[in-house]
Each structure stands twice: as structure tokens, then as C-alpha cells.
Amino acid sequence: MDEFENELGKEMKKSVVDMVMDGIVSDIIEGKLGPGDKLPTEMDLCRQFDAGRNSVREAIKKLEANGVVYIKRADGTYVAETYNKKMLDPMLYSIILHKNSWQDFVQLRSVIDIGTLEVIITNAKPEDTYNEEHRILLKMEAELYEDNPSVEKLMELDMQFHGAIAARTNNPQVVTITEYITMLTRPSRRETISRVIEQGSRQEFMALHKQMLDIIEKREIEKVVHTVLDHYIYWNN
């Protein structure tokens, strides 16, 4: 029992450390922290992420080891200002440093999505089913038609849907790149979903998601490009 409790404790600590790391990286991506900016104090980070000091310290150590932040003794922790070969995710941080426009991200995402759908359809087997994707869309539709739909819930469901699609490639590199793009486009996704709700475009928004899944199920590879470009109509406004 003691051994089990020790392992459980390690897993819980690991998840808190990961949460703190993800939160700091998200702040950098969303522009709350820029290259060269000083991170909040250790106590402020504890309050921000509802985490203990040991978890915060371990998260900072990992980010430093990856080259995302650096520590000035007796001064504080700063976001890295230049590319560092220690970074585990150099592509992600390169994009952060270059301050690409949202239109660049839309274009990048469309290139990835077109390739992803073509791979899925090309490699599809007759016995393949898409129950998980349909389940996510049902939850998305239910939330969207609530009297006061949650933008955050809808954004998470949208990201789950595209993550599930990427996983269909059975290609870990495609999944990783999709996760990068998902992280980078969180602010724009939030804005897009807010606009959909405000403009009363719920039906059109759901139809675009269903269309993407529909061409996969029907193996309509010739419709991939048109479907993906249609999917970004709200992003281009």
C-alpha cells in the first residue's frame, strides 16, 4: 500500500508540474509574456496555478533545461530571447519569436489539415468508425445551443475534435504539429467562437465541422481542399 501511495503521489506531482509548465508556455504564446520578460515571482506563480512551491520550482527547472526560460541569480526568471538548441520544441518557439500574423497561422493550419485529411482518407479501412468524433460534435452542438453557451467549453471541444481527427493518421508527428498549432491559435479560436455566438451563426459553424467528418466517412478526397478552406471562413473575416 505504501508503495502504491508513493507512486500515486509522484503522478499527482507530475501532473501539477506539467500544468504549471503548460500554463507558462500558454502565457508566452498568448502574448502575456514576451521574449525577455521577467516571470512572476515564485509565490505569484503558486497562486496563479494553485500549486505548491516545489511544483513551481520543478516546472521552472524543466523550462530552463529546455531553454524556454533562463534564471538570473538573485534577480528572477526570464523568458528566453533567442533560440536555444536545448529547446525540446524549437519549431514552436521559433514561431513565437517571429511574431507571425494570424493569417500566417490560418495558412499553416490549412496546409496541415489538408494533408491530414488526405492521409486519413487514403489509408482508411472499410471497418473504420468515427464514434469519438461524432460524440464530440454532439457535445459541441448541445453546448452551442445552450441559452448561454460557454466559449471556453466550445473551444476545448473544437480542439478535441481536431485532435481526434489528427490521431486518425496514426502519425505521431502529425499529432504533435497539430498540438502546436492548437496551442498557437487558442486566442484566435476563442475570438472566432465568440463571434459565431454573437452573429447567430451556430448552424453554419456546426455544418462546417460535420462536413469535415462527412468527407472522411465517405472517402471524398476530391472535396478535401474545398472543405478545409470553407472551415476557415470565420477566421478570415
- In 3D, which of 6, 7, 10, 30 has the Cα closest to residue 18? 10
Q: What is the mean pLDDT of the chain?
A: 85
pLDDT of residue 91: 60
Higher pLDDT, 142 or 106: 142
- In 3D, which of 187, 221, 206, 198 has the Cα closest to residue 149? 198
> How confident is the model over 18-49, as pLDDT tens digits?
899 989 988 888 889 988 999 999 999 999 99
Tell me the C-alpha to C-alpha distance, in Å, between residue 43 and each of 102, 188, 219. Answer: 34, 30, 53
pLDDT of residue 190: 86
Q: Is residue 3 predicted with pLDDT exceeding 70?
A: no
| 39 neighbors 27 (Cβ within 8 angstroms) | no
Angle formed at CA 165 by CA 160 and CA 170, multiple of 5 degrees:
120
Maximum average pLDDT range among 87-91, 182-186, 197-201, 212-216: 212-216
Query: Which whole number is the average pLDDT over 43-66?
Result: 93
pLDDT of residue 178: 87
> How confident is the model over 95-129, as pLDDT tens digits?
666 655 667 777 888 899 999 999 999 999 999 99
What residue type is assigned to position 105 of the chain? F
For each of the domains in the chain, give its residue range(s) and CATH number, in order of start: 2-84 (1.10.10.10), 100-231 (1.20.120.530)
| Calpha distance 6→12 (Å, rounded) | 10
Higher pLDDT, 87 or 227: 227
pTM over 0.75: no
